[in-house]
Amino acid sequence: MTPPRRVLDAGVATALVGVALLTLVPTGHGWAWGAPVAELQWYATGWGSGAAMLQLLGNLALLGPLAALAVLRRPALSAPHRLAVAAVAAGATIELLQWLLPLGRVVSPLDALLNAAGAVLAGLLAARLRTAPRTLPGGGIRSARP
């Protein structure tokens, strides 16, 4: 069963605040460029590095809760092409703000893509769970609400 809209609205707002706190709180001044090839190499060779895995998994998970809640709140976002556009836009907006504001953050196109990939996966999973058939007591199956 999908939660009431007011609960989803509160969840979306909370997720947005969380994303802002994680990505837009200053850590210094100016910004640094995260070269995509160097970052890919760091991830590819960093499977044993806690820092590399934390960065990789954190980037994949950053927009996941927001995407899942947004899909539940706005079912039209469950279409993969709409979800992908929204996810890429969200990831790119974060990186653009980190570049425009003197936050001392690393601006990385790869981070934006990882954020978007995690958001798409979470959004598609939420859409699938929302529409999955439910088992009734006694073993019967009832279709979920679309």
User: Residue holding tokens 């969200």?
Assistant: 90
Task: Quote the pLDDT of residue 132.
Answer: 81
Given this model, what pLDDT does residue 45 score?
94
Question: Phi, psi at residue 34, to the nearest 5°?
Answer: -95, 100
Q: What's residue 143's pLDDT?
A: 57
Please compute, for residue 116, the number of CA atoms within 13 A of its CA located in the half-sphere on the CB side.
22
Read off the tokens for 64.
């996941």
Q: What is the pLDDT of residue 140?
A: 63
Write out residues in the chain with pLDDT < 50, as ranges: none
All structural domains of the chain with their residue ranges: 5-129
Residue 52 is predicted with a pLDDT of: 94
Q: How far apart are CA 137 and CA 53, in angstroms?
A: 42
6 CB burial (10 A radius; 0-12, 13-18, 19+): exposed
Q: How far apart are CA 79 and CA 96, in angstroms?
A: 26
Note the pLDDT of residue 141. Answer: 61
Beta strands in 58-138 (DSSP E): 105-107, 134-135
